[in-house]
Structure 1
Amino acid sequence: MTHNPVFLAVDVPRLETAIDLVQKVSGHIGGLKLGLEFFCAHGHHGVHEMAKIGLPIFLDLKLHDIPNTVAAAMQSIHVLEPAIVTVHASGGRAMMEDAKAAAGENTKVVGVTVLTSFDDKDLSGVGIDHSPYEQAMRLAELSKASGLDGIVCSGHEVGAIHKQWKDGFFVVPGLRPAKGKAGDQKRTVTPREARDAGASVLVIGRPISRAENPLAAARSIEATL
């Protein structure tokens, strides 16, 4: 994995626009996060094109289905050689075990704990009577027991989880630079705070991709690390 922990979330509708954006900032980021929007729009072809830029690829597909289906999906992306792939930790132990067993040898599989757009009220609305912190801790423990490489959590939980899982691989999204707008993210911290707390990968999207000057924004964030 690269020394620069910043993975740029590339969720733009046109492939040409995505390639242009990444080429502008490639010297100041460590990898590319390609999520559902990108994958549904551009598929394997889009991932191959982005991989030509030469940065590690994080496929944020958040797989969540019966164990056999998730394992088959994981096998179908072997050819893309992703550095990281996500599954939903709430899919359970059997699903996570099968996902890890089916992943490529050099692919880290990480379990999504609680989405950074969720707060207590959102969790309660789907029948979970725990705080985001409590739920993230619980699902991190399950992810570890299931043999995953690490988890995805907010910067509010990563410090406590890192203390319990010393060699875990921790992906932290929902990051906003100091004085940045939170948008639809409800549990944000700065990239520096997340890194200091134990984050392995910092996922940053709009603060770079929608900045007036993406290169200057990427440089500025890198300088804080």
Structure 2
Amino acid sequence: MTGTGTGGVRVLLVDDDALVRAGLALILGGSESISVVGEAGDGREAVELVRRGGIDLVLMDIRMPVLDGIEATAQVLALPDPPQVIVLTTFDADDYVVRALAAGAHGFLLKDTAPAAIVDAIGRVVAGEPMLSPTITAGLIRQVTDAAPTSAVDDARALIGGLTGRELEVAIEVGRGSSNAEIAEHLYLSLATVKAHIAHIFTKLDVTNRVQVAIRVHDAGLL
């Protein structure tokens, strides 16, 4: 386990390509708000490092030997007080990304994302903000819901029915890909109130990330 940086968000880099890890470490090492505290070459090693503690966020490659990023994400998020997970991919809407998000990942980054955008995305995820553009979110939702059974629609409608009127408005905005700041502006709410509503929505809809909220809203016929 290697580390760079002196403080801020503690990040674990997981990729079987040492050059990719080195590039990410170089990019993140220039940010005062991020500290790269470790690297792993496969999913199993990543889970073990997370188990030891001291990690706030994992940048997780999808295609790796020994244990792939999807299963590693599921195992990491099943640990007590898990870090947030952003999956890394070379494609903007492949089945692996959909499966990783369904497993609870907090978003994804393309490997060719601009350095400043990677730093910004990490900050947004840690702050609870979405990091998927509306276009990409819509594509992911279509991939998941096109094959959704009727029971998923019924379940979504039942869960959505448990939201208050204001929570429903916020959930629909989340489904549209709006950021917390945009939701606050559209609905004339404070950021603190938006965050509180989103926390309640996650609980009531039995989800762990904003894409899953969007899928619930879509399945219920509200998008």
Which TM-score bucket, shorter chain as reference? 0.3 to 0.5
Q: Which one has a bigger Cα radius of gyration?
A: 2
Greater share of strand residues, 1 or 2? 1
TM-score of the pair, normalised by structure 1: 0.33
TM-score of the pair, normalised by structure 2: 0.34
